[in-house]
Amino acid sequence: MTVMGAGESAKYSCARLNDICEVVLDLDEKYNIERKKFGVVTPTDINYFKSVLSEDRVLTDESEVMPFNIDWIKNCRGQSQVVLKPKTVEEVSQILTHCNAKKLAVCPQGGNTGLVGGSVPVFDEIVLSLALMNKIISLDEISGSLVCEAGCILENLEQHAKEHNLIMPLDLGAKGTCHIGGVNNFEDILKLYRSAKLSLGEILSAFEMADAAAIDACVSSLKLTNPISSYPFYVLIETHGSNETHDSEKLGGFLEQEMASGLILDGTVSSDPNKIHAMWTLRESISTAVLLDGYVFKYDVSLPLKDYYKLVPKLKQRLGPTARRVCGYGHIGDGNIHINVSIPAYDKRTLEMLEPFIYEEVAKLDGSISAEHGIGFRKPHYIHYSKDATSLQLMKDIKQLMDPNGILNPYKVLPD
């Protein structure tokens, strides 16, 4: 079964966003940073790349290069003039040897679905697109190990694993039985989570939450259907064990118990793939739906569960009417919350109200400033809120060892 993943929602949102989002700010303009002293690509370099790759895998035409310069949420735009599309490790190696000798900076790019500006160039770094490195090399059915190239997309891996009666452990699409419910306050969600872990144990495969503002974005902007009435908070609970009848009986029993206890006020449950798909689409479309408000500041932080939702009301209060929407949603099971703040159009004053405030608050609560989206371009200067000087030095030493000229994805992850 396929559930809308990041790639699919990206395609969908780009079509919609093209209509509403004319302004993408260049990264140096937005963040006021200076280009480092890397080499500049010359016609000789281009000829060399064409000799390594076939001509059609060296893109220099502005319109062809542009999509590789802009991230899918249209938050960041780099200024690269060359995209290279290797097909083999040997080709990558030849390109990087050349770039290293000439000190040409390189931005490796996968699906370009990143949310922190890590996947697009900042200045004129060469984009090394891994899109054509999409071969599955081997699958050991006994150990369950799959070896694949770096540009494989999850959906294809999922399909391949399925043909061998296996699933991807990162599988976002294998759904068993799914429930979406309305729960009154955040404390109830935590009680429900504890209870779900106790009652459902090993078959609990997802426990997601979204607040009313997040679901409202899907309903009002994307016209998706919310299968239950309006509540301040929603949870999506999914079970995925080896015996479907047993799993749905177990989930059914749990839901009955928690509806009687009042922790769940309303809900719908299904094992029908189409209905499950609709439930996940609602949850996984929030990210895209909020983008249609205008400009979105996206935060991806992890917090101790007792404090998981604390920042959302705090930010609402801090921003007042400046914000069009402040919403929180995410993966309770992982302790990750996505806080999205939307405003009609990009505005530096709002950015200054949000940062570093939000990271200071996360640090006070003993959380991490990056949960699952990474540090990318947007967070290196805040990494010290979550990592101490020793850890940072170790990370810098490893980077120095592997990339002594610092040509790989400069301006990202580690602060200068």
Ligand X SMILES: O=C(O)CC[C@@H](O)C(=O)O
Q: Beta strand 204-211 with 325-331: parallel, antiparallel or unpaired?
A: antiparallel
In angstroms, give the least distance from the CB of 54 to ligand X.
36
- Between 239 and 340, CB nearer to ligand X: 340
Report if residue 74 touches ligand X, rule: CB under 6 A: no
Under rule CB under 6 A, residue 287 binds ligand X: yes
Cα-based distances in Å from 134 to 2, 230, 236 = 19, 43, 32
Site string for ligand X, 296-325 (x = CB under 6 A): --x-x-------------------------
User: In terms of CB distance, is 80 or 342 closer to ligand X?
Assistant: 342
CB 35 within 8 A of CB 26: no
Q: Can you tell me the distance from the alpha carbon of 248 to that of 271, in angstroms, rounded to the nearest whole number?
A: 8
Rounded to a whole number of angstroms, the minimum distance from the CB of residue 353 to ligand X is: 18
* Rounded least distance, CB 115 to ligand X, Å: 6
Q: Under the criterion CB under 6 A, does residue 240 sit at the interface with ligand X?
A: no
Give dist(CA 400, CA 408) in Å, integer. 11
Q: Which stretch binds ligand X (CB under 6 A): 237-245, 266-274, 282-290, 309-317?
A: 282-290
Dist CA 152 CA 83 (whole Å)? 18
**Stretch in the footprint of ligand X (CB under 6 A) among 12-20, 29-37, 148-156, 283-291:** 283-291
Residue keyed to tokens 């790989």? 408
Site for ligand X in 112-141 (CB under 6 A): 115
Q: Which residues contact 413 (CB under 8 A, 6 or more apart)?
A: 118, 374, 375, 376, 380, 383, 395
- Half-sphere exposure (Cβ direction) of 190: Cα atoms closer than 13 Å: 11
340 touching ligand X, by CB under 6 A: yes
Nearest approach, Cβ of 151 to ligand X (angstroms)?
A: 20
35-43, 228-236, 242-250, 279-287 -> range binding ligand X (CB under 6 A): 279-287
Residue 114 or 182: which CB sits closer to ligand X?
Answer: 114
Instruction: Give the shortest CB-89-to-ligand X separation in angstroms.
Output: 30
Q: Which residues pair with 339 in a beta bridge?
A: 299, 328
Cβ 56 vs Cβ 129: under 8 Å: no
Instruction: Tell me the closest approach of the beta carbon of residue 37 to ligand X, in angstroms.
Output: 35
d(CA 384, CA 368): 10
SS3 184: coil
Q: Is residue 338 within the footprint of ligand X (CB under 6 A)? A: yes
Nearer to ligand X, 45 or 300 (CB): 300
Pull the structure tokens for residue 346: 């990009």
Binding mask 77-116 for ligand X (x = CB under 6 A): --------------------------------------x-
* d(C-alpha 51, C-alpha 37), whole Å: 26
Q: How far is the CB of 293 from ligand X (least distance, A)?
A: 12
Quote the least distance from Cβ 299 to ligand X, whole Å: 7
Taking CB under 6 A as the binding criterion, the range among 32-40, 53-61, 194-202, 281-289 that sits at the site for ligand X is: 281-289
Alpha-carbon distance 345 to 306, whole Å?
Answer: 33
CB nearer to ligand X: pick between 71 and 284? 284
In the complex, minimum distance from the CB of residue 362 to ligand X, in angstroms, rounded to a whole number: 15
φ, ψ for residue 409, nearest 5 deg: 45, 60
Tokens in use for 194? Answer: 């504890």
18, HSE (Cβ side, Cα atoms, 13 Å): 6
Cα gap 91→85, rounded to integer Å = 9
Specify whether the CB–CB gap between 231 and 266 falls below 8 A. yes
By CB under 6 A, residue 284 contacts ligand X: yes
Identity of the residue, 161 or 371, whose beta carbon is nearer to ligand X in the bound complex: 371
Q: Output 65 or 73, the one with its CB closest to ligand X.
A: 73
Residues that bind ligand X (CB under 6 A): 115, 284, 286-287, 298, 300, 330, 338, 340
